[in-house]
C-alpha cells in the first residue's frame, strides 16, 4: 500500500439554527447557564470539535449503510466486516478506510487489515471565522446566546422545570478543515461528500429534535478548487 496523495478540503460552515455542543462542565456557577457550550481554553470562543464532526458523520454513514443493528450500536470495526451482507461489504470496507477502526477481532485475517490500512480522514477543530467575530464586536453582540426552555404540564398547562442552555447563535460562521489521505490512487471523495451532505440534513450537537444545530456548507474547496457544486449534487436516496 502506497500513499499517493493528500488532499485538503477546506471551507466554511454557517449555522442555520443555534448550535449547542456541550462542554461537559458539571460545575455550577451562580448566574451562569445550566448547560454551557464548549469554548477554547485560551480564547474563550466557542468552536466545533473535530471529534464532534467525525463522530456524527461516521454514525450517520453507518446508519445509512444499515450496520448499526449488526454492531449493536458500537462503531463498525474489523470484526464486523464478514457479517456485513456481501453486497454492502465493499462500502463497509471503504467506511473503515475513511474513519479507521481498531483491528481487534480481525484474528488472523491479516489480508483484511492490510487491505483497509490506516484511516484516511483527519478532522480539525473548527474555529469561528475572524470576520464573524469582528462583526459581532462591531455590533456589540456576544458570541453565544442563552435560550430558556421548560416542560409544560399537559393537564394544568403550566410551565415547569425551567432551564437555560447556551448556544452559538444562527448566522455564526466556522472555518472547516479536513485532510484526506489517498492510497494506491483510490477515490473515496464521493463517499466523503455523502457524509457532509448527511451532516447538512441532520445537523450537529445536541437537541437536534428541538431545532438546534442545523448547518450549511457555504464554501467548500478541494486543494483550491471549488467543489461546493459537487456537494449540492449529492443524492442520498437508494
- pLDDT of res. 169: 94
In a domain, 238, yes or no: no
In a domain, 181, yes or no: yes
Asked if 227 and 11 touch (Cβ cutoff 8 Å), the reply is no
- pLDDT of res. 161: 62
In a domain, 237, yes or no: no
In a domain, 228, yes or no: yes
- pLDDT of res. 29: 45
Asked if 11 and 217 touch (Cβ cutoff 8 Å), the reply is yes
Write out the chain's pLDDT in tens, 238 residues. 899 999 999 999 999 999 999 866 544 444 445 588 999 999 999 999 999 999 999 999 999 999 988 888 888 888 888 889 999 999 999 999 999 886 665 555 778 888 888 999 999 999 999 999 999 999 999 999 888 776 776 777 666 666 778 899 999 999 999 999 999 999 999 999 999 999 999 999 887 778 889 999 999 999 999 999 999 999 876 5
- pLDDT of res. 214: 95
DSSP assigned state of 118: S
Question: Can you point out the beta strands (E) in the chain?
Answer: 3-15, 47-48, 121-123, 126-127, 145-152, 159-167, 173-183, 215-222, 225-226
pTM attached to this predicted model: 0.86
- pLDDT of res. 159: 65
- pLDDT of res. 31: 44
Q: How far apart are CA 162 and CA 159, in angstroms?
A: 7
In a domain, 36, yes or no: yes
In a domain, 56, yes or no: yes
Please give the residue range of the domain that contains residue 19. 3-232
How many structural domains does the chain have?
1
- pLDDT of res. 51: 93
Q: How far apart are CA 192 and CA 215, in angstroms?
A: 17
> Which cell numbers hold the place of 113?
487489515
Amino acid at each position: 500500500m502506497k500513499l499517493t496523495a493528500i488532499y485538503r478540503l477546506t471551507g466554511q460552515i454557517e449555522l442555520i439554527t443555534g448550535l449547542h455542543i456541550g462542554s461537559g462542565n458539571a460545575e455550577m456557577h451562580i448566574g451562569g447557564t445550566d448547560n454551557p457550550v464548549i469554548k477554547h481554553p485560551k480564547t474563550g470562543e466557542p468552536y466545533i470539535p473535530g471529534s464532534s464532526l467525525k463522530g456524527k458523520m461516521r454514525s450517520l454513514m453507518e446508519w445509512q449503510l444499515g450496520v448499526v443493528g449488526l454492531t449493536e450500536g458500537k462503531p463498525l470495526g474489523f470484526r464486523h466486516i464478514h457479517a456485513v451482507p456481501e453486497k454492502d461489504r465493499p462500502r463497509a470496507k471503504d467506511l473503515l478506510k475513511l474513519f479507521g477502526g481498531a483491528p481487534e477481532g480481525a484474528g488472523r485475517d491479516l489480508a483484511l487489515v492490510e487491505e483497509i490500512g490506516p484511516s484516511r480522514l483527519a478532522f480539525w477543530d473548527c474555529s469561528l471565522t475572524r470576520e464573524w467575530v469582528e462583526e459581532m464586536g462591531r455590533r456589540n453582540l456576544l458570541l453565544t446566546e442563552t435560550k430558556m426552555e421548560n416542560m409544560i404540564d399537559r393537564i394544568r398547562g403550566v410551565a415547569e422545570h425551567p432551564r437555560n442552555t447556551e448556544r452559538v447563535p444562527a448566522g455564526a460562521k466556522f472555518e472547516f478543515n479536513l485532510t484526506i489521505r489517498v492510497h494506491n490512487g483510490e477515490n473515496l471523495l464521493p463517499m466523503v461528500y455523502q457524509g457532509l451532505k448527511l451532516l447538512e440534513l441532520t445537523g450537529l450537537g445536541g437537541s437536534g429534535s428541538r431545532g438546534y444545530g442545523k448547518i450549511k456548507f457555504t464554501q467548500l474547496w478541494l486543494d483550491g478548487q471549488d467543489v461546493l457544486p459537487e456537494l449540492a449534487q449529492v443524492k442520498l436516496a437508494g
